[in-house]
Structure 1
Amino acid sequence: MWTKKERVLAVLNGELADRPPVSAWRHFIEKEHSGVGLFAETMLDWHRTYDWDYVKLQPRASYYEEAWGGEFDFENYEGVLPKCIKGPVGSAEDLDKITVLPGNKGPFAEQIEAVKAIQEGVADGAPIFQTMMCPTSILQKLCAVNPIGRYRAASRDDLMVTLMHEQPELVHRTLKNITATMADYSRQLIHNGLFGVFYGATGLSRSTYLTKEEWEEFVKPYDLEMMDALKPCKIMVHACGLDVNPEYFAHYPIDILHWPESATGNPALDSAPRWLDRTITPMGGCDERLFGQHKADEIGAMTRNTLKRMKDIPFMLAPDCSLALNTYDDELRAFIMAAHEKN
């Protein structure tokens, strides 16, 4: 009988387990901003209800901006994002405010305590992955730029891209400060025994957003610094959206690469052996847009199709991104039932 941790470690070692490890995640916007206890209880309830093999934590999407002085109205959400009352960066002059912060204070301290509480409550040693955005994604959020929509065209007409061209040295200095802060936060998490990090590369690598040259200059160097700081955590990189170029990450020093094969312009999951470094485990397999639409049958069918295509390839089974707030229980049960079937 395989334990959850054994199942995850097997596929990360390039071996086939009894079945692929499976999990899913979503925001609980009414329970993510009221202290450690409620958030930890919510994540543990989600884990226990569906018996996930690994736990991808879903903290509120604003905790990075809060650390640098962002203010939010938690009674007024726009999707999964609380309404921003005050963004830390509105002009080039504001970048001076983005200094190096200790990784164990403020919202970071809250998240460290939440991880501790959740680690103590998981079943069967299920590995925990804390969500952490890459430094350039954090800068994007500090500039009050909404994350690039998963399945809508990206726009380059935003403050961060403008600053990259008008004040590149200042942007690099700011990214170094963010990276130093997140590296210290990483060390605190590692000290407390965290198994892994869900590292949100978001949609920065999309062909219609940053150019490859911009990505190489303003994203990749800081990613690699974070990869080094995160050792020995297992690193799960998530690239999100249309035309997201997961091959950019094909030789990163990471353990898992998660991308939406269901989005236009992205490679199929079962193509991974042809281009992905063999030490990196592919992850995905079900279009998250099916959830919240009473499409349990379609979810089950897509999951079975993925398992059939990937039967000889070690991988981690998951939706292609975060699930809808109105995801239904029968959809989740269909996903899990298909995932647990003997092939």
Structure 2
Amino acid sequence: MAVNRRDLIDAVFHNEKTDRIPLGFWHHFLKDETGSDAFSHPELTEKVLAGQADFYKAFQPDLIKIMTDGYFSYPVESLKNPLTGPQDLKDLRTLGKDSDWFRFQIGYAKKLVSLYGKDVQLFYNLFAVPRTIEFMQDTAGHPVDLAEWIREDPEGTAHVFDVISEDYSILAKALIEEGGVDGIYLSVNNISYDRVSEEDYAKYVAPYELKILEAANEAKDNNILHICGYHGFRNHLEWYKDYPFLAVNWAAHVEGISLKEGKKLFHDKAVIGGFGQTEQDLIYRGSEEEIRKETERILTDTGTTGVVLGADCTIPRDTDIRHLEWIRRATEEFVK
């Protein structure tokens, strides 16, 4: 029996059998998604909304990851200045729900929910605190070494993560309860593959990622964890296997961990991905035959229960929509 796209994602996220495999691909809509400031330039949000509308019309995705181009920053001036360590942020305080940082993002979420929420589930992209700090320092031309922060002043670093994650946890809950989104899509990574130990990560980083996920779960237990492997960044995936999420996405091609292997690692949770996400991967340059064969290979290996076909991360902006349609047709033929 055919089900609508909202019900389809519910079924897949709960490892129920379905009559087709959903697809979840997404890309950025601003040229400079990290450095653009939609808080100071609200017109940028209109560009993102227009881009989202074009993509939705062309592709008809089975779920929407709400792209937060223009909202990557945390509006505290001290984070825009060169930072030598967490001591530079020792006086950091939370923003509060009346700030533009909250109001603008909840308003943005509401617009997208009003446009697409009846048809598909929407998941709001949030970055764990280390990524936010790195984005802002990189944009300002002052790359920061958070692994060194943890080595030199772990408690001070944890304090910074705690303060900012408090706002993120409140935002995550408000996006679901007030903004109407179906869940969050929380992006995390190891900070450094070989310079932060599992013990230090568990003590000084993980609690502030878990705070965000747990706040979102209080509102709705329907959230996605993304373990980011963008630009080839490696992660110890096992560090996240007990995080409280309903579905998980990681860079299978970067990590060398297939969807099948990941399902075992993550206690048979629903998985999202399967395809590489760069200009060198099939999603971008493959022929119809190659893409169809790869779709069949992934599903043969992984199975068809609890699987959303997607990519390691955000796909290139100019990816040919026909490539995504080839995947969709191949999945339809596979389940028949």
The alignment's TM-score, normalised by the length of structure 2, stands at 0.83
* Unpaired runs of at least 5, structure 1: 71-85, 147-156
Is 1:113 matched with 2:101?
no
Q: 1:41 to 1:294 in 2, by over 3 A?
A: same
* Unpaired runs of at least 5, structure 2: none
The equivalent residue for 1:90 is 83
SS of the aligned residue for 2:50 comes to helix
SS of the aligned residue for 1:144 comes to helix
Q: 1:176 to 1:302 in 2, by over 3 A?
A: same
Quote the offset at 1:158 in angstroms.
Answer: 4.4
Deviations for 1:4-44, whole angstroms, at most 9, x for unmatched residues? 01110001112121122212111111597434333223213
- Separation in 1 of the partners of 2:313 and 2:237? 14
The alignment's TM-score, normalised by the length of structure 1, stands at 0.82
The equivalent residue for 2:247 is 256
Deviations for 1:290-343, whole angstroms, at most 9, x for unmatched residues? 267432433332222112223343212111110112322332332333233343
Is 1:47 matched with 2:56?
yes
Deviations for 1:271-294, whole angstroms, at most 9, x for unmatched residues? 24433223x212211111226743
Is 1:161 matched with 2:147?
yes
Is 1:275 matched with 2:269?
no
Quote the offset at 1:221 in angstroms.
Answer: 1.0
Quote the offset at 1:254 in angstroms.
Answer: 0.9
The equivalent residue for 1:185 is 171
Q: 1:129 to 1:291 in 2, by over 3 A?
A: farther
Quote the offset at 1:226 in angstroms.
Answer: 1.4
Equivalent position amino acid for 1:14 in 2: N
The equivalent residue for 1:4 is 5
- Separation in 2 of the partners of 1:164 and 1:196? 30
Q: Which of 219, 224, 238 lines up with 2:226 in the alignment?
A: 238
Range that drifts further, 12-21 or 174-183: 12-21
- Separation in 1 of the partners of 2:136 and 2:328? 37
Is 1:341 matched with 2:333?
yes
Aligned residues: 314
- Separation in 2 of the partners of 1:142 and 1:162? 17
Alignment root-mean-square deviation, CA:
2.7
Deviations for 1:160-200, whole angstroms, at most 9, x for unmatched residues? 22222222222121111111111121222122221011100
Q: 1:20 to 1:158 in 2, by over 3 A?
A: same
The equivalent residue for 2:190 is 204
- Separation in 2 of the partners of 1:158 and 1:35? 27
SS of the aligned residue for 1:63 comes to coil
Kept after mapping to 1: 8 A contact 2:275/2:283: no
1:278-293 → structure 2 map (5 Å cutoff): 278=268, 280-289=269-278, 290=281, 293=284
Kept after mapping to 1: 8 A contact 2:129/2:164: yes
- Separation in 2 of the partners of 1:210 and 1:188? 32
Range that drifts further, 126-135 or 316-325: 316-325
Is 1:65 matched with 2:73?
yes
- Separation in 2 of the partners of 1:283 and 1:292? 15
